[in-house]
Chains A and B, each alone.
Chain A
Amino acid sequence: MRTAVALTVVLLVAATAQSQVRSEIPRASNGRPDLSGVWQTLNTAHWNLEPHVSDYPAVLELGAQFAVPPGPGVVVGGAIPYLPEARAERDRRFANRVAEDPEAKCYLGGVPRSTYMPYPFQILQNERDVVIAYQFATGFRRIFVDGTDEAPLDSWMGWSNGRWDDDTFVVEVTGLNGLTWLDRAGNYASGNGRITERYTPLGPNHLTYEATIDDATVFSQPWTIRMPLYRIVDEDFRMLEFKCEPYAEEKIYGQLRKPGTGPSAGASTQ
């Protein structure tokens, strides 16, 4: 009897909390949750999606400032279900991350990586389109609400069709070119990957972000990452440009510069 009463109380509290959350969610004029705003993660998923302890920086000279901080990981179930050869490829990429990680070259982050890179992104929403502008590399996605068209060609940010499932915005992402990585630890999916993202409001200033990665080329089964997104609540916050191209030039083209010359700013014009 005591157990039953306690359970009832718990359920009532849960139901009240749920309805309170629903009433706190900002809504657009069509009644859908209004996801618009500037968001960012607060975790170490960009270093490694899987659980990880702290580690040396990829370039030892950078010292503790650029060491890898520890994190519990964001993979539901803990480990990514790689096929054996794919795990070996992940390990190879990790070993070559300084040379190969596309993030270091200022390449577009792709999906889902752009979400949990350590930079803000802005969601803008109307009844037909949800667009997301990412600060890093000025990445941009257009999500077609109730869209059914397929990607006409592969791209870095893929092709996104979204739909509302109650208060969750579900986005199917296909047409990814498979050239992006999933994090700085060499985790990756192939161009055959299909990503299903779910954006669910938790209240006025938090979303739950989930992405399920379905890619039989690389994984033995679909797997999911899950993490909260935090709204940037600073008054009058505006995303500043982070045009990273200049900072990657020496890395990409340095071996092609005239011997004896070095980078100098301010010479270029249109």
Chain B
Amino acid sequence: MKNATHCIGALAILSLPLVGCAQGGGEPAAPRTAWGDPDISGAYAEFTTAPLERDPKLGDKEFFTPEEHEEFAKQRLTQAFDADDTEPGTAADVHYSMGQFALSENEGVTSLNLRTSIVTQPKNGRIPALTQAAVARRDARAEMRRGREFDGPEMRSLTERCIVWSSTQPPILPRGYNSNLQIFQTPGYVIVQGEMGDPRIIPTDGRPLPDNLLPQWNGTSVGRWEGETFVIETTGFHPDSAWRNASENMRVTERITRVDEDTLEYAFTVVDPSTWAEPWGGTYPLTELDGLLYEYACTEGNYGMANILSGARVGERNAAKQ
């Protein structure tokens, strides 16, 4: 499987007709683990050409035509590299090379996805508006930080602090920096680990979520097989994890299904009445990587945090001199 040609690689999208993805012959038997579960193990890229939310101009249009998709995907795939086209000598020109591995959203492989957005529920492909309670929580957090954004590490984002990442915490969403994950299966467990850290060790014996969950940054998960689909239920989040302003009671259902040799479908639904009046969710493909994931030691190399804070202190001293 590791050596299989990807359905559509980044370059293939630009150069090959989309029929290059068509399967020839009969359906191959879905792979199984030694103990008979569907085999979803491997290392996968989360990047997809579909944006999280649909362009409102597209209304309820769920899929691009292949021609529309080709044009759209071309834009998405070149976007990151265009960020290098800054004017030399300007402040905007001081940035990493976005073509450098791991800094671009797209790390070279992605399965064909004609969808116009990751969000599929509601039908307009847009995340429902926050409830008043969620707006109040969001504003209170923002108020607490206002003018103090660089005071100390606790004022920086959870991602800068190496605590949680949207590409790792359920529901998993590609975010454009090491958005990859790996899945291991053992009798009784599925382990889902985002490249940025934190393995989720998910029991597969169908046990219910325990009562009285202690808050966890990544929630607590239980799983079960429904035919070919691995279904994960997660809740009990840390109140500060606040995924898109959600509460600690957010309930996430994830469904992972193998769709072909190189592709899993990842679908999710989130329910949190104190944050959104209605459930919402989406789907996107996970594309098998031809390679391994390596250790991402975040806090061990977090020079960014030290530089952000020391830069702020220098700025304050300079301001005081003037």
Query: Do A and B make up one complex?
Result: yes
A interface residues (Cβ-Cβ under 8 A, vs B)? 28-30, 36, 102, 105-108, 122, 124-127, 129, 131, 133, 137-138, 140, 142, 152-153, 155-157, 179, 236, 238-241, 243, 245-246, 248-250, 252-254, 256-258, 261-270
Select the residue from A155, A248, A270 with max chain B CB neighbours within 10 A: A270
* A258:B243 contact, CB within 8 angstroms: no
* B187:A28 contact, CB within 8 angstroms: yes
In the bound complex, CA of A246 to CA of B305 (Å): 13
* B155:A105 contact, CB within 8 angstroms: no
* A126:B148 contact, CB within 8 angstroms: no
Nearest neighbor of B143 in chain A, beta-carbon distance: A267
B272 to chain A, nearest CB (A): 15
Residue among A249, A253, A270 making CB contact with B242, cutoff 8 Å: A270
In the bound complex, CA of A270 to CA of B169 (Å): 11
In the bound complex, CA of A253 to CA of B308 (Å): 10
Chain B residues within 8 Å of A137, by CB: 299
Chain B residues within 8 Å of A107, by CB: 297, 299-300
B interface residues (Cβ-Cβ under 8 A, vs A)? 33-35, 138, 141, 144-145, 148, 150-159, 161-166, 184-189, 191, 193, 197-199, 201, 210, 214, 216-218, 220, 239-245, 294-295, 297-300, 305-306, 309-310, 312-313, 316
* A155:B316 contact, CB within 8 angstroms: no
Known A-B contacts A126-B34, A156-B300, A241-B217; the reply to A268 vs B151 at CB < 8 A is no
In the bound complex, CA of A267 to CA of B150 (Å): 12
* A240:B214 contact, CB within 8 angstroms: yes
In the bound complex, CA of A36 to CA of B241 (Å): 30
* B152:A238 contact, CB within 8 angstroms: no
Chain A residues within 8 Å of B245, by CB: 269
* A266:B144 contact, CB within 8 angstroms: yes
In the bound complex, CA of A263 to CA of B161 (Å): 13
* B34:A246 contact, CB within 8 angstroms: no
Residue among B154, B201, B217, B313 making CB contact with A267, cutoff 8 Å: B154
Known A-B contacts A129-B184, A257-B152; the reply to A268 vs B161 at CB < 8 A is yes
Nearest neighbor of A132 in chain B, beta-carbon distance: B199
* B198:A138 contact, CB within 8 angstroms: yes
